[in-house]
Structure 1
């Protein structure tokens, strides 16, 4: 009976491996690269690397904010990460004056900006490939995460069918029995060493599947701040942030904030995220919300306040991404990830060798490809779609339109829309969208030049027009004069700042 069960498990293990080995090879390889994706992307950026000791990284959140606003006064700051890793300077997610998402890298001692990087790069594209094949649909994420179930079955069934597997940890594959024997030995050896990682990846991926299906556990509820007229109150600067941090620390003695989220809307609060000696890093972060207007501490949440699956979310992410132990766990995950990649790849070699044991490897691989049936064309279509998605993401036409809001009026009055990025020496066309009613004509003054007329096209209650714009090396400003039939005129000013690239 035991032999029959093992034989059935082996046949099912082989059948699943036939169809999914290519998929698992791709996922393990991209996941392994993602562990150090940002490091790989930043090889040519020496400015953002540092060897500065932690006690010398003294720049406060307020200093970082002021440093960014000093270098890019028209830009916005969203999230500040102090010491994202021990080898990188401080990182901030923000937006340029012309509305393009950007990463600001600042000196960990002074808070001054030392480098800027674009939002899309090797790491983000690789992450998109790994998560959804760059198809940003929830259903794709769910389907990919669901592969954690057959992955877990493959590991369990493989260990069951590999009798006395505990004796094979140091059994090097032999080539004396031919290619098939070597491939089988390599597959079994890789499986044993990769088993801990593969089990963790399967479990954490299944957890992400539950999240994709909406099973996430209880979410934190934050008390609304005092009413204010804008996302940030008048006079908001680094000193306000530092004062808010002081209130957060006083409200929870021992709290060490490491990240800060700055509100992007009128109903948001300053949220400090960090550590506390009473809670392990593996359990999660402390969150303290502070009203940016009154500096009142609104909420304090510890890992003990999470409910349901939300309690495990932080731990699952640390384990899946390999950052639970800093640089040491990252290196371990990369090594084991390469072994897991070899595991999936040698699985296909074993099947190919079994199909054609007496012919060349190339011919057996061709038979392996044909044996996959209609699914091989699905793989081919996915590959072609992925290559197209990557080329599109890297192409200039893939730029996500950005919006510039006026500095002297509400955004509903008018806004500029850039369908291509602002770059040095590059002439672009900008769209003027007018939301104010009854505007019959518009003039635009570009960087102090004579005002030019814009041909407007009505779109319901709105009006649209386009004009050409050539950026200067210094500040770039557009002034729009909106004219109504009764002769009244409204002046609207847009400031985009100087090009970074």
Structure 2
């Protein structure tokens, strides 16, 4: 891991302890920038829907005094306001002050996000499909695809994250007593070192949560790409272990939206429907929540024949095996959505801590190399840093192309991406490039060859 020189320092640590420390240091230096990019984008992804709410006036509504409308009211509101649009998906607002969301295809073929005030049932506006939420989710999930291997590239870093989180427990003496061991009286290097250690201890639980769920995503992607190509238990798509039979609806007239929703509610009165799709590979599809805890909405889903209203398949979280139940639990745990805004803020702050740890750990060890091991450097650092910059450039290029591909509003020349999304994306890229260039500057070989 280290490029050696004739100088061979004498370590005061036992060989086994020193080996764990070396592993921790090597992982931190070599993967530091890429881990930062992943954690940094994930931090924004956690609160991306809230960022959209802050920067998109159409999403902000007054909290109604009456019970929130169901998806039928939301669908009908858009159908009245945009009779030429094809409504694809309908989503009820998940909390007060948020507009309902409808995915609709315009006559020109462009997908738009249409927002509906749940109290007045008026359409408040629309945006392109590239929102802040979509931007950060696609970036954090798979680097905008990255030539088909983006999810592997992201998820594989769950392993070095777990190594970085667990190895200090093997070499940091009496770590359980060090949660408040912040040193401010020994100069800046000691301060930053102690801050790194204290922050790491307080963030240990979060690093384990993200590392474990990230490793699970790696397992899912491995199964999808290398084993049997399956991603769901039952669905109308081929990615499911049990694919529903294809419907032949060409000669049949579909029932109205409200009658299909009513049929779903009659079949499962305990299902709180939060979303519906008029065409999921031919089926009418609904999803929502039951009394099951800590699962995403599509753990509870129903497929109906749109011509007859007959329920073809209904699944609840209680029906699932531990494997598939965990599959639907990973997302709420990974992104902190299970507890509403409170857990989202906690996940965001913890994500900032992990982002900082990814950088400070590598920087601190570089300082140790300069002070104690002149002329020595970690192998692979230049390649890793260059890869991080290259991936960021790739994501920037894809984001710009996606903004223009999303299409402008009718009669406009500029993409329909909101100003808020554009500004937030620009800030993210500028800060990431700044950190990346600083990282490369710190890793340049001549800085590691200076003598004290």
Shared topology, TM-score over 0.5?
Answer: yes
Question: In structure 1, which of residues 198, 201, 208 is the aligned counterpart of residue 207 of structure 2?
Answer: 198
Q: CA RMSD in A?
A: 3.0
Change (3 A) 1:264 1:382: same
Equivalent residues of 1:218, 1:308 under 8 A apart:
no
Alignment counterpart, residue 55 of structure 2, candidates 44, 51, 55: 44
CA gap 1:293/1:318 in 2 versus in 1, 3 angstroms? same
**Structure 2: stretches of 5+ with no match in the other structure:** 1-12, 225-229, 235-241, 415-452
User: In structure 2, what is the equivalent of residue 261 of structure 1?
Assistant: 277
Residue 83 of structure 1 deviates from its aligned partner by 1.4
Q: Is the 8 A contact 1:54 1:86 kept in 2?
A: no
Identify the structure with the greater strand proportion: 1
Q: 2:21 aligns with which of 7, 10, 25?
A: 10
Confirm whether residue 30 of structure 1 aligns to residue 41 of structure 2. yes
Q: Tell me if the contact between 2:259 and 2:309 (Cα under 8 Å) persists in the aligned partners.
A: yes
- 1:339-365 CA-to-partner distances (Å, cap 9, x unmatched) read 22222222022112212349xxxxx9x
Matched with 2:156 is: 146
1:201 and 1:55, CA in 2 relative to 1: closer, same or farther beyond 3 A? Answer: farther
Does the 8 Å contact 2:143/2:154 carry over to 1?
no
1:21/1:73 CA distance change after superposition, 3 Å:
same
- The number of residues matched between the two structures is 389
Match runs of 1:399-438 below 5 Å: 399=405, 421=408, 423-424=410-411
The answer to whether the 8 A contact 1:217-1:310 is kept is no
Q: Kindly indicate whether residue 434 of structure 2 is the aligned counterpart of residue 390 of structure 1.
A: no
Structure 2 partner of 1:282: 295
CA drift of 1:374 comes to 5.1
Q: For residue 345 of structure 1, what is the aligned residue in structure 2?
A: 359
Pick the structure with more helix per residue.
2
2:221 is the alignment partner of 1:212: yes
Change (3 A) 1:388 1:316: closer
Which consecutive residues of structure 1, in runs of 5 or more, have no partner in the other structure?
Answer: 359-363, 401-419, 428-501
| 1:271 counterpart SS class | strand
> 2:111·2:128 contact (CA, 8 Å) conserved in 1?
yes
- Does residue 227 (structure 1) correspond to residue 248 (structure 2)? The answer is yes
How far did residue 193 of structure 1 move? 0.9
What is the CA-CA distance between 1:182 and the residue it aligns to? 1.8
Is the contact between residue 283 and residue 311 of structure 1 (CA under 8 Å) also seen in structure 2? Answer: no
TM value normalised by structure 1: 0.70
Task: Name which one, 1 or 2, has greater alpha-carbon Rg.
Answer: 1
Partner of 2:434: none
Distance 1:61 1:283 in 2: 18
Residue 328 (1) aligns with residue 323 (2): no
User: Are the counterparts in 2 of residues 34 and 127 from structure 1 also a CA contact under 8 Å?
Assistant: yes
State the SS of the aligned residue for 2:55. Answer: coil
| 1:185-237 deviation digits (Å, cap 9, x = unpaired) | 0110110111111100000000100111126676114655863227xx6475x
TM-score, normalised via structure 2 length = 0.77
Secondary structure of the residue aligned to 1:108 is coil
Give 3-state SS (helix, strand or coil) of 2:151's partner: helix
| Cα distance change on mapping 1:55 and 1:222 into 2, 3 Å | farther
Q: Are 1:125 and 1:390, in contact at CA under 8 Å, matched by a contact in 2?
A: no
Shift of 1:310: 2.0
Mean CA deviation greater in 101-110 or 188-197? 101-110
State the 1:170 CA deviation: 1.5
In structure 2, what is the equivalent of residue 490 of structure 1?
none
Structure with greater contact order relative to length (CA < 8 Å, sep ≥ 6)? 2
What SS class does the counterpart of residue 62 from structure 1 fall into?
helix
Give distance in 1, aligned partners of 2:137 and 2:176.
35
